[in-house]
Structure 1
């Protein structure tokens, strides 16, 4: 049955508490799927290395062209010929067939992004072979609609409140697994798929819910005006600054716990390799990183909810790529090949703060929350928004260390506030063009020369 693409889907994540036997089976599945992933990837790399040549032309009377092998695909790798290999049959025993097919599908997706790129044409790097520690997820593409059973908890708390409902989910070839049912599934939604993941503090399941009666979530068509729009400028001194002057302070979750993490890491490095104490400290460090990640994500959701609760209907944000902003500086060399200082020591601290802020995650959460509320998030180019005066359109060049915008027209404003106003003007189409900026820069230079000559 063909699944409609115009249905509304949600992802709900729950924590599951498997028994000892189920936990052993889940870990065994991850080990086998990791081996299968590496085998399928090795087969594709062998084809890629043996069936291509850097020479694009040759004399056909002299050169012998060997018969090329068939390119491995998703359908060829999931056929029974791979399943019946004597040397690898133990990897397929006991694992659900659809789970293996989804693992092979992941290999094909990563390899296609390496060769062809995504729908925008952006290619990813060469796929890596996975270690057992790095392979943490597998998925069930299909689940029965009645796989989740929820019963009321007869026990009550000491203060008389009802306890959380008791829930169990039936996973193929694993059985009934206890689920921490902390929020109910909305009415009308059915369970279509599940993603099992192993994290630092246990096992989690992400359920894909679908409601065919509700249309898919689409961005609304809203005409932006000065009254119903808001410009947002994200930064490191303040998390975001709105065009009306409202400011959200930055949290810096990683920076605040950096010393504690360094102490734990030093203690771990001093322990003997493959010792129990070293594994305990490694697990403690991973749990600490998980808490930081959850705090950051909760802060992003709260901040996005705060913005969506305003009266504005359109939010103009910067079209930035945090991954490009946090890249390393290019190395510099002299004539003799000696490396010169390139400012990477100062850039490393900036990169750490950019990654700690998590702008990309916040902007994606804001777009999702705004679409649910019937509002719109528009990305605009942030070029020169912090350099141009929002009052007179003069180009006022300033370094990143200068946090106050001062213009000859008399405007003295916070740098981020000025940038947020300009971002809103870019979204509304009233930001000065390149020609206007050049003309304003020439006017500013003449006025500054006049002021200096008059003072002399």
Structure 2
């Protein structure tokens, strides 16, 4: 769901069934767009490496300064007089002009995130040149009105039920493509753009629907209290634990299929390179990964719906970054330059479990479903939420392997439950801040000490 200033947008995804000629044409488009993507990216890299250093002073009578080239941009690269249109004319023949412009715009956005960063100033990694197998999506920014034709299916099922409607979508320069119309488009919405993707099990289109009659609505400001709020702590032993003690068991979709994927990979590696049997096994592995991805996403939607259907209006969750948690350890070297053990082999299993859980996807789905239901999801800092006692505010240091919280006050509680209670307290503003008091070297370190409250 996407809101702009004057419109209300939705994204609906459908599966399409193109014929053999259309499949060949779509694959040819992806191949040509991939080549254009690499050419535009190469030109930007060449200009950046040769012109990124400024010239302050130079003896002109000795050194010859060549004429500086114009920095390649979106408008200069999409011009018809561009050098690539002359030398690589075969890449532009047969492809819709707006599809090429969207591919160049994709290069523009990727390169700007690498050089300048996004709106928050965070820069992404260096863009990579795409192989044909990795370039699987292209965008069509405009479609004609009435491009989707839906007719009722006159046939009935064996049990007397109605069959799915017959639908065809008209793509420019491709023609009428059969579409699996599994859910109807809401009334008042028009199709503004389409995203065509090639996946392991076929082709899909993502329709961008727009309704200008829906006004922009501000999300209601909900005041969080003890009664209408809930704290959530995500983990690997339990998927999430609520502050009231409710838990959601973790599924571990990849872990359950790890042995099967390993056997398929071993069979594929034993086949000759570029053979038909190797390609079949590779496609089988891709379909298996796609099936795991869909199972994980379905589990996230069901778990988020389970939380949104509760009576609470505000959900406090951890402001975590799974990408940082699953980052590789920094290498260690001695004085001779030899690499030392850095604990990466022990952390690799933890990284695999973190990626299998998919916390980031779940939290984004929870925020989306909560917004539709008129509820709020608030992210809070999770620092020391699992170390501080939720009863007496003592800091009890414990390793990650210790799953029970035992405090000197007598509280014995599950570690995740204790963290969920503290996350709720952080969101409500009653969580204590830690003030580490200085101790002398002779003073022994205590196992637990009282946390001091800040005066607000």
TM-score normalised by the chain length of structure 2: 0.93
Between 338-347 and 59-68, the greater mean CA deviation after superposition? 59-68
CA deviation vs aligned residue, 1:409-445 (integer Å, no higher than 9, x gap): 111100000000000000010000123x659xx9994
Q: Which residue number corresponds to residue 348 of structure 2? A: 348
1:144-159 equivalence runs, <5 A: 144-159=144-159
Provide the rounded CA distance (Å) in 2 between the counterparts of 1:391 and 1:215.
Answer: 47
1:17-416 equivalence runs, <5 A: 17-53=17-53, 57-58=56-57, 65-82=65-82, 85-216=85-216, 218-416=218-416
8 Å Cα contact 2:236-2:250 kept in structure 1: yes
CA deviation vs aligned residue, 1:162-220 (integer Å, no higher than 9, x gap): 11110000111111000000011111111110000000000000000111122346543
Provide the rounded CA distance (Å) in 2 between the counterparts of 1:276 and 1:446.
Answer: 63
Rate the CA distance shift 1:152–1:109 in 2: closer, same or farther, 3 A: same
8 Å Cα contact 1:217-1:372 kept in structure 2: no
Q: Secondary structure at the match of 1:187?
A: coil
TM superposition shift of 1:60: 5.2
Q: Secondary structure at the match of 2:385?
A: coil
Q: Which residue number corresponds to residue 454 of structure 1? A: none
CA deviation vs aligned residue, 1:253-311 (integer Å, no higher than 9, x gap): 00000000000000000000000000000000000000000000000000001100000
CA deviation vs aligned residue, 1:214-234 (integer Å, no higher than 9, x gap): 234654311111111000000
Structure 1 unaligned regions, length at least 5: 449-456
Provide the rounded CA distance (Å) in 2 between the counterparts of 1:69 and 1:196.
Answer: 35
Q: Secondary structure at the match of 1:44?
A: helix
TM-score normalised by the chain length of structure 1: 0.93
How many residue pairs get aligned? The number is: 442
8 Å Cα contact 2:230-2:314 kept in structure 1: yes
CA deviation vs aligned residue, 1:7-57 (integer Å, no higher than 9, x gap): 11110000000011111000010011111111111111111111123x775
8 Å Cα contact 2:148-2:168 kept in structure 1: yes
Structure with greater proportional helix content = 1
Rate the CA distance shift 1:83–1:67 in 2: closer, same or farther, 3 A: closer
TM superposition shift of 1:330: 1.0
Provide the rounded CA distance (Å) in 2 between the counterparts of 1:372 and 1:401.
Answer: 38
Q: Which residue number corresponds to residue 426 of structure 2? A: 426
8 Å Cα contact 2:396-2:448 kept in structure 1: no
Rate the CA distance shift 1:275–1:446 in 2: closer, same or farther, 3 A: closer
CA deviation vs aligned residue, 1:41-94 (integer Å, no higher than 9, x gap): 1111111111123x7754556665443211111111111113883321111111
4+ aligned runs moved over 6 Å, structure 1:
none
8 Å Cα contact 1:9-1:216 kept in structure 2: no
Provide the rounded CA distance (Å) in 2 between the counterparts of 1:240 and 1:64.
Answer: 66
Provide the rounded CA distance (Å) in 2 between the counterparts of 1:307 and 1:125.
Answer: 35
